[in-house]
Structure 1
Amino acid sequence: MKISFFKNFLLFLSFLIPILAFAQSKSDRELILIDKDWRFSFGHLFDTEKDFGHATGYFSYLTKTGFGDGSAAKDFDDRAWRKLDLPHDWVVEQPFSENGSFSHGFKTAGKGFPEKSIGWYRKKISIPESDNGKIISLKFDGVFRNSKVFFNGYYLGTEESGYNGFEYDVTAYVNYGGENTIVVRADASMEEGWFYEGAGIYRHVYLQKTNPIHVITNGTYVTSEIKNNEAEISAEVSVENKGNYKGSIEIIQMIFDASGKQIASVSENVNTPEFYKSNVYASKLNVKNPLLWDIENPNLYRLETQIRKDGKLIDIYETSFGIRTVKFDPEKGFFLNGKSLKLKGTNNHQDHAGIGTALPDEIQYYRIQKLKEMGANAYRCSHHPPTPELLEACDKLGMLVIDETRLMGINDYHLNDLERMMKRDRNHPSIICWSVGNEEWNIEGNIVGERITNVMQDFAKRIDPTRPVTVGISSGFRSGISSVVEIMGYNYLGNGDIEAHRNEFKQQPGMGTEEGSTFTTRGVYFTDDAKHYKSAYDQKPRPTFYSIEEGWKFYTERPYLAGMFIWTGFDYRGEPTPYGWPSVTSYFGMMDVCGFPKDNVFYLKSWWGNKPVLHIMPHWNWSGMEGKEIDVWVQSNCDEVELFLNKKSFGKKKMKINSHLEWKVKYTPGTLEAVGYINGKKVLTEIQKTTEKAEAIRLSLDKENPSKGNVSVITVEVIDKNGLHVPRANDEIMFSIKGGKILGVGNGDPTSLEKDQFIDDVSLAAITNFKEQKGSTANLPQELQNYPENDWKTAFKDRDYKNQAPSYIYKGEFNLNTISKSNIVSFFYKKIGVETVVFINGNKVNPSPEDSQKYILDPAILKEGKNTIHIVATPLQKVKDWDVMNTDPGIIQVVTPAEPWKRKLFNGYAQIIIQKEDNAKEFILSASAKGLRNANLVLKK
């Protein structure tokens, strides 16, 4: 029985958070999600002044411990920075430009845009005094890319790759019982891939607390061996000791089923690892009558590892796992739990319309469910380690996975990345294969490729001997990597002779790691190269490449091939082959970037799924083409299909397996109808009707979307007076929301240069040419005086702090490129005096009630271009001679409110992703457009 998506999503929720809370209540371990309330600002790739003066101090963070300077400093004033929640992708927020990167979707970010290639993040957290004695660490699931992390001004380390998870121990740097500052600098100036990668902290961040004796991160490894009707579970656990305890500890391993019932346990007293060392301890447990994990019934178990010291529970570590067997056979293909299964897979990158790479967890489930509905049973992570939540979705929904590392090589950089990925992911039952490379053309066919592959394969086997290793190969199939790789990964039929390779390497299993690579645009049925639109009919993309149908027929007809992975399941940003600007997304997907299906989805659904399917293409709105022949295709797995136009039959046609049917029909408005027959019995009817003009907007919660989550995916369309979807509508729709927020909008148009997100623009203007002169009295003026021009000198230069004037008058400048009544302009003052009065363009301004060092400026007193600021203040006094006094008066923040949210429909559809407010009982999404009836959608908590 197929488990419903809603049930699976509830399982997801039950595993993700309550387990952690349960563990927290019983042991010293806490894992706290700290995604909310970060501050963000752009720095600069090479201009240190624009990068907040970072790494310009006499002592840098590399020369002396704790000298994080500029925005890395603990007490840096970040009040003027933008406030946001994680996950966050700053690239998706940027406009498009022809000067942007082709491979990354022409966004104005990256090395060509130094002012948008560095992102700074800051967050303050409190850690209670009661945590003193625990091990405190920060855990990042991924930051793109080349991230430097600081804690209270202490440099923790650099992680170059944007796809690795990483962790830093901050125990020694914590201000217990007080405030602590986390700072991350991400440098996305260099690309790791040739596809859209986003930028910033686009995955989750956690604060972890453990006992000094604890299970290390990713420190368990669970395998199973099935004998008769019993599974023997091998559970390895790596325990670390960051304390001085030298006695024994008890390790308890318990297995729970999906209902929470304990079904097995074992305990052992062992010697504690030595100081700052770890030991691996292995246990055996038996599960009788195991419920196997498979794609239809993804049964999961939970291993609970407990550590007790002197009888006291000090750590609990939870591991989700499944019991199943996988096998690749060189003659018979792939087997799951001893049963032959053809891999029906897709390749996918990690971005989605409107939100880029910053996917909420619910969207991971949404996308996997979309692929499952298409009939897919396998997913290749192209071409990097995925976010952990994607693998959790695959575990819980029943999707097989090829997990892939980013780079091939034999040095620490490459092998360490591979090891981290495998140790993080090897307990996921969904993973059936490790991929250590993809299309490495420089080494694929030579001895260097052989050597690297041999090392990486053997290295992978040391970490996980239960799964095979593959490489996706595209430049010939009979030498180099392809001669030694364990599972041959064929990338495209046109790149080599698969049968010749198989005849030479008969003991080597194989599969199509990439196939198809077709170009289609959703809802377009006549190629228009001028507009960069490709017809949605399944065609050969290039002379040596094959259509989806041709590819699937080849792989399904050969039992020795395990299956194929289509390039791709979803369109993705960047790599807009075969076009360039202004195309900004790919054309390869079976679905567009929103997940709206192209017609190829129904071909795959017909032959990959197990339910009757009937689909007609194209739509039947072709005003102006009356009397012209239209190619009508029917995708179906019925035995026969009969086609009608306005009740006139065009006859029945028999369906060949793994094929489709075609008719040529002269266009006449009305009803195009297909009737499907199985064993001579009518089982399905499908119609395409000519619609009337658009009259109203329709909003609907996507039926696959988990209604219990905080994030919802909404389909936007327009309908005619009869309630029929209008397939050629391209109206611009305006949106507003109450009780929640909009995360992003999209429509699947590969040439759309519309904004993905409508957010307030926050820009910062520095105060420059800062000068001072001495005041004669400590009484501060309430009106700006005339001060002698000849008395101005550089502020704070050669200041004698033992002999200061009663007050100082400071003068500076700041530039505003534009100014309007809608702008919100604030001066964030950084204290340079005891008592202070501030004047802007000669006008006295008062501090805001909530912050005595923030001044909200009336646009009426501001000017476009140069503005003048005067600050009159009584001086700060040094307590100690070596005290460093602040000389920065502050910064000007200009907030330009965002435009209203909007998006054009593309061939009838758009998508909006919304998130409920935590305390809202319901939220209301409203949509309007010129000439159309408005729509409201109410969703309750």
Structure 2
Amino acid sequence: MKTTFVQKTILCFFLVCSFHLLAQNKSGRALILIDKDWSFSFGHQYDTKKDFGHAEGYFSYLTKTGFGDGPAASGFDDRAWRKLDLPHDWAVEQPFSETASFSHGFKSAGKNFPEKSIGWYRKKINIPNEDLGKIISLKFDGVFRNSKVFFNGFYLGTEESGYNGFEYDVSAYVNYGGENTIVVRVDASMEEGWFYEGAGIYRHVYLQKTNPLHVKQNGTYVTSEISKDNALITAEVKLENKGHFKGNVEINQIILDASGIQVATKSENVTAPEFYKTNAYSSKLNVKNPLLWDIDSPNLYQLITEIKKDGEVIDSYKTSFGIRTIEFNPENGFFLNGKQVKLKGTNNHQDHAGIGTALPDEIQYYRIAKLKAMGSNAYRCSHHPPTPELLDACDKLGMLVIDETRLMGINEYHLNDLQRMMERDRNHPSIFCWSVGNEEWQIEGGITGERITNIMQDFSKSIDPTRPVTVGISSGFKSGISSVVEIMGYNYLGNGDIDAHRNQFKQQPGMGTEEGSTFATRGIYFTDDAKHYKSAYDKKPRPTFYSIEEGWKFYAERPYLAGMFIWTGFDYRGEPTPYGWPSVTSYFGMMDVCGFPKDNVFYLKSWWGKEPVLHVLPHWNWSGMEGKEIDVWAYSNCDEVELFLNKKSLGKKKMEQNSHLEWKVKYTPGTLEAVGYKNGKKVLSDVQKTTGRAENIKLSLDKENVLKGNVSVLTVETTDKKGLHIPTANDEIMFSIKGGKILGVGNGDPTSLESDQFIDDIALVAISNFMEQKATTASLPQKLPNYSEKEWTEAFKDRDYKKQAPSYIYKGEFDLKNNSASNVVSFFYKKIGVETVVFINGNKVEPSKDDSQKYVLNSAILKEGKNTIHIAATPLQKVKDWDVMNTDPGIIQVITPAESWKRKLFNGYAQIIIQKDENAKEVVLSASGKELKNGLIVVK
């Protein structure tokens, strides 16, 4: 697929979406992204004082409605918290630690770090009076993990899994015409997977508004039957009535093509559901000469479901879908639209270099475009439901998908998760198979596994009978799940006899759901176990595992196997097999964590893609190895390849199907060139040259930035004086930016312990030993007097609010670990008096002009270690006897400015992800390095 086609496809789709957004607004339905302007702070896993006093109240949020305390309370003061936008992954921001989790990439978060395992998020929103009577809900695409959500102090619920989308109706709790507070407490102390999962609100959050009678969330289901030049569309819709409307309504179903032209419509009068009930309705529509969805032409349609009452549209709901057929055949594999398609797939987790799991939408498209460019046509979501934007990218770019639930089982926890995933995702034409499990070794080979699989499989069919079900099996292919699953998922051909299993179950289609698991470090061609580097030549990784070439040959030669999914497309954080610390990412990927290709990409591109390919490896910078033999390989789909060293032929070799070519070459600096021939004619060449030293920094915009948004991916490299890329460069590059911000940096080095992000450190320092003395006058001192040390008593203890002194002087302490002049230290005062004067170390300080209860403290009056704060104040008075008076004087915020953004190149490359400011016309990124000419790029 050409990039220009992809861009046109996306542009047309977004024009259609824009049209429907307008229609939805007119109907009263609105879906508002509320990712911006959240406050965030760490709490604590078990110390309630460090968790801002949450759940310390006499009445908790579980005992009485509306009693959210600590940060869950609407009136909690979060001014000193960090301000950020979603999506957000706090784990990626942490340093690495040898004591942290191996599976999660040794990031200092999770159960071994109780001070970094709880995250609090708060946001204030205004909801106008005119929304009274609508259904107002909060919609979360995913929070990792175990989230508790509060709204105006009211507890809404808990979602344990970090991968489920969920929503809460807040209509009854809204302060209409005023301010409302959303609070989320996230507990990432426990892991769900054995791979990096991030931490926090790492997917989108929305505020949704609908009429009481509306299309239920994920309440449409579109299927099609194709006959000659006609597609019969069945459009099912679930209406939910959260009001008292009774009577008939009209359901108007409209199908639009990618350009927004109406191609079919159907209207029906139906009886509305009763109060708080849901009814399903089905309509049949015909689309003539349908444009089918496939991997080369991912044609999409839109179903607009309008609900009309007395001729007025009261709800409008859009559903993207595709028209296509899928079939698994036990003899001939997989068919898409009646055409046999060999699945050329990869498994992938959801993190990316520099940003962890908090991927902007543009990065979802970037990653799928990278895989498409490699020749891949299929993607397995391993091992959990993906973010919705990933599936959108697969729909629009033409990538088949296996959608996978997190855990096998037959109880509500398991089946409810499966149902939510399927109902959310079943309209995506890219999904061709559901996976209900993966490598469940405890149950794979026995009767328990059979029973669970049969139930989950039949349950899946009750939700979506149009797609088959698979399970990835790795502990032998003989019995148990393997004998009953609809589509057999073989995880690694070394784990059993695939041919024998197929001969026993000839009516059971199969595919390689995982294959490869090879080790490679990009740009490394000699294994060095001391440095944790694995050679990038495609070799058998372990005795019972196979190389990428061996695996692909096995599946390619067997028509009955639908194809294979390589473990993995991209490297990912965690599981740094075969090593441990200080390796922090996997070695399995065809590409590294940035998406820079390892050499295996070119092997796959040769036999998976449609274009001529020729790639020669390794690089040709081997100073000190003159005269020693170097293994030279060529990946190509040409008929023959001839190798030249400094224009001298080293021989022409014939390329066998699904293979590669090898030479032994004694190293001599210069030019290594491979020439490819088809039908005896030269069609391609690839060159590796010995370069000079690095002199220039080159910044370039990656061509896979196919989605026109505010986020872009750039490649950083160095070149010599001739402009040649330096494949061995490891220079440290510094970055500065105007018109935008940097989201993250990476380089693909599996052993790099460099920071992924450079953000200001915000420390909150409590005021301790808070004491008081009574004053005899309401006049507050402007200079700090000397007070008798004997008369200090514990502040507010046994305070008689009916007999208060005219004023009080309070004293407390706070500790500063350092008093750098670059730090910004502020006191966020929480009102304990009507009028107030504040002294720090005996010096009167003035409030900020923009916030009368914030004091920015000059470093000249501060000192490292213990500091003293005095507050003189006239007392607050109780209006009612049961009023709860504030006794917290506030908190000290210490901002330590971040270092400049930087990253070392790794074997020639680094990556930087940037985001343009909303109102900026362009972003200017500058790069500098020691003894290097600066680089600069302007991104419009």
* TM-score above 0.5, yes or no: yes
Aligned partner of 1:715 in structure 2 is 715
Aligned partner of 1:321 in structure 2 is 321
Aligned partner of 2:554 in structure 1 is 554
Question: Cα deviations across residues 879-931 of structure 1 (Å, max 9, x unaligned)?
Answer: 11111111110000000000000000000000000000000011100000010
Aligned partner of 1:336 in structure 2 is 336
Aligned partner of 1:74 in structure 2 is 74
Aligned partner of 2:662 in structure 1 is 662
SS of the residue 2:86 aligns to: coil
The number of aligned residues is 939
Give 1:103-252 correspondences, 5 Å limit.
103-252=103-252
Relative to structure 1, is the Cα distance of residues 664 and 395 closer, same or farther in structure 2, using a 3 angstrom cutoff? same
CA RMSD of aligned residues (A): 0.8
CA contact (8 A) 1:132 1:176 kept: yes
Aligned partner of 2:882 in structure 1 is 882
Question: Cα deviations across residues 170-209 of structure 1 (Å, max 9, x unaligned)?
Answer: 0000000000000000000000000000000000000000
Tell me by how many angstroms 1:861 deviates.
1.1
Aligned partner of 1:10 in structure 2 is 11
Q: What amino acid does structure 2 have at the position aligned with 1:103?
A: S
Q: What amino acid does structure 2 have at the position aligned with 1:4?
A: F
SS of the residue 1:866 aligns to: strand
Q: Distance in 2 between matches of 1:777 and 1:132?
A: 49
Q: Distance in 2 between matches of 1:818 and 1:68?
A: 35
Aligned partner of 1:379 in structure 2 is 379
SS of the residue 1:454 aligns to: helix
Tell me by how many angstroms 1:8 deviates.
3.5
Aligned partner of 1:926 in structure 2 is 926
Aligned partner of 1:731 in structure 2 is 731
Tell me by how many angstroms 1:21 deviates.
2.6
Q: Distance in 1 between matches of 2:20 and 2:167?
A: 18
Question: Cα deviations across residues 572-601 of structure 1 (Å, max 9, x unaligned)?
Answer: 000000000000000000000000000000
Q: What amino acid does structure 2 have at the position aligned with 1:878?
A: K
SS of the residue 1:443 aligns to: coil
Q: What amino acid does structure 2 have at the position aligned with 1:589?
A: G
Q: What amino acid does structure 2 have at the position aligned with 1:184?
A: V
Tell me by how many angstroms 1:23 deviates.
2.9
Tell me by how many angstroms 1:707 deviates.
6.8
Q: What amino acid does structure 2 have at the position aligned with 1:93?
A: E
CA contact (8 A) 1:536 1:598 kept: yes
Tell me by how many angstroms 1:11 deviates.
4.0
CA contact (8 A) 2:778 2:807 kept: yes
Q: Distance in 1 between matches of 2:503 and 2:241?
A: 54
Identity among equivalent positions (%) equals 82
2:472 is the alignment partner of 1:472: yes
Q: What amino acid does structure 2 have at the position aligned with 1:217?
A: Q
Q: Distance in 1 between matches of 2:14 and 2:818?
A: 47
Tell me by how many angstroms 1:933 deviates.
0.1
Aligned partner of 2:797 in structure 1 is 797
Q: Distance in 1 between matches of 2:16 and 2:189?
A: 37
**Which consecutive residues of structure 1, in runs of 5 or more, have no partner in the other structure?**
none
Q: What amino acid does structure 2 have at the position aligned with 1:794?
A: E
Tell me by how many angstroms 1:657 deviates.
0.2
Aligned partner of 2:613 in structure 1 is 613
Question: Cα deviations across residues 664-707 of structure 1 (Å, max 9, x unaligned)?
Answer: 00000000001000011110011100001110000000012137
Question: Cα deviations across residues 538-587 of structure 1 (Å, max 9, x unaligned)?
Answer: 00000110000000000000000000000000000000000000000000
Q: What amino acid does structure 2 have at the position aligned with 1:25?
A: N
- TM (norm. structure 2) is 0.99
Q: Distance in 1 between matches of 2:48 and 2:19?
A: 45
Question: Cα deviations across residues 793-815 of structure 1 (Å, max 9, x unaligned)?
Answer: 11111111111000011111111
Tell me by how many angstroms 1:20 deviates.
5.3
Q: Distance in 1 between matches of 2:14 and 2:661?
A: 43
Aligned partner of 1:845 in structure 2 is 845
Q: What amino acid does structure 1 have at the position aligned with 2:726?
A: V
Aligned partner of 1:44 in structure 2 is 44
Aligned partner of 1:749 in structure 2 is 749
Q: What amino acid does structure 2 have at the position aligned with 1:937?
A: I
Q: Distance in 1 between matches of 2:917 and 2:751?
A: 33
Tell me by how many angstroms 1:614 deviates.
0.2
Tell me by how many angstroms 1:19 deviates.
4.7
Aligned partner of 1:783 in structure 2 is 783
SS of the residue 1:855 aligns to: strand
CA contact (8 A) 2:812 2:870 kept: yes
Q: Distance in 1 between matches of 2:402 and 2:99?
A: 35
Q: Distance in 2 between matches of 1:921 and 1:609?
A: 37
Q: What amino acid does structure 2 have at the position aligned with 1:752?
A: S
Tell me by how many angstroms 1:10 deviates.
2.3
SS of the residue 2:278 aligns to: strand
CA contact (8 A) 2:365 2:707 kept: no
CA contact (8 A) 1:736 1:927 kept: yes
Q: Distance in 1 between matches of 2:348 and 2:336?
A: 22
Q: Distance in 1 between matches of 2:526 and 2:347?
A: 26
- TM (norm. structure 1) is 0.99
Tell me by how many angstroms 1:731 deviates.
0.1
Q: Identify the range of structure 1 (18-27 vs 780-789) with the bigger mean alpha-carbon deviation.
A: 18-27
Q: What amino acid does structure 2 have at the position aligned with 1:272?
A: A
SS of the residue 2:344 aligns to: strand
SS of the residue 1:604 aligns to: helix
CA contact (8 A) 1:706 1:712 kept: no
Q: Distance in 1 between matches of 2:20 and 2:820?
A: 49
Tell me by how many angstroms 1:709 deviates.
1.3
Question: Cα deviations across residues 439-482 of structure 1 (Å, max 9, x unaligned)?
Answer: 00000001110010000000000000000000000001011110
Q: What amino acid does structure 2 have at the position aligned with 1:30?
A: A
Tell me by how many angstroms 1:228 deviates.
1.5
Q: Distance in 1 between matches of 2:715 and 2:315?
A: 45
Q: Distance in 1 between matches of 2:370 and 2:344?
A: 14
CA contact (8 A) 1:12 1:393 kept: no
Question: Cα deviations across residues 732-753 of structure 1 (Å, max 9, x unaligned)?
Answer: 0000000000000000000000
Aligned partner of 1:535 in structure 2 is 535
SS of the residue 1:299 aligns to: coil
Relative to structure 1, is the Cα distance of residues 882 and 20 closer, same or farther in structure 2, using a 3 angstrom cutoff? farther
CA contact (8 A) 2:733 2:927 kept: yes
2:625 is the alignment partner of 1:625: yes
Q: Distance in 2 between matches of 1:115 and 1:697?
A: 40
Give 1:810-849 correspondences, 5 Å limit.
810-849=810-849
Q: What amino acid does structure 2 have at the position aligned with 1:646?
A: N
Q: Distance in 1 between matches of 2:510 and 2:469?
A: 11
SS of the residue 2:25 aligns to: helix
Q: Distance in 2 between matches of 1:546 and 1:19?
A: 50
CA contact (8 A) 2:16 2:260 kept: no
Aligned partner of 1:437 in structure 2 is 437
Q: What amino acid does structure 1 have at the position aligned with 2:809?
A: I
Q: What amino acid does structure 2 have at the position aligned with 1:58?
A: Y
Q: What amino acid does structure 1 have at the position aligned with 2:581?
A: W
Q: Distance in 2 between matches of 1:11 and 1:194?
A: 40
Q: Distance in 1 between matches of 2:539 and 2:10?
A: 37
Q: What amino acid does structure 2 have at the position aligned with 1:295?
A: I
CA contact (8 A) 2:16 2:259 kept: no
Q: What amino acid does structure 2 have at the position aligned with 1:884?
A: V
CA contact (8 A) 2:369 2:706 kept: no
Q: What amino acid does structure 2 have at the position aligned with 1:641?
A: V
Question: Cα deviations across residues 825-867 of structure 1 (Å, max 9, x unaligned)?
Answer: 0000000000000011111110000000000001111121111
Tell me by how many angstroms 1:15 deviates.
5.4
CA contact (8 A) 1:833 1:875 kept: yes
2:565 is the alignment partner of 1:572: no
CA contact (8 A) 1:20 1:31 kept: no
Q: What amino acid does structure 2 have at the position aligned with 1:31?
A: L
Q: Distance in 2 between matches of 1:563 and 1:514?
A: 10
Q: What amino acid does structure 2 have at the position aligned with 1:47?
A: D
Q: Distance in 2 between matches of 1:755 and 1:197?
A: 18
Q: Distance in 2 between matches of 1:344 and 1:939?
A: 34
Aligned partner of 2:685 in structure 1 is 685
Tell me by how many angstroms 1:24 deviates.
3.3
Q: What amino acid does structure 2 have at the position aligned with 1:46?
A: Y
Q: Distance in 2 between matches of 1:792 and 1:479?
A: 77
Question: Cα deviations across residues 482-512 of structure 1 (Å, max 9, x unaligned)?
Answer: 0100000000011001011001111100000
SS of the residue 1:150 aligns to: strand
Q: Distance in 1 between matches of 2:136 and 2:344?
A: 44
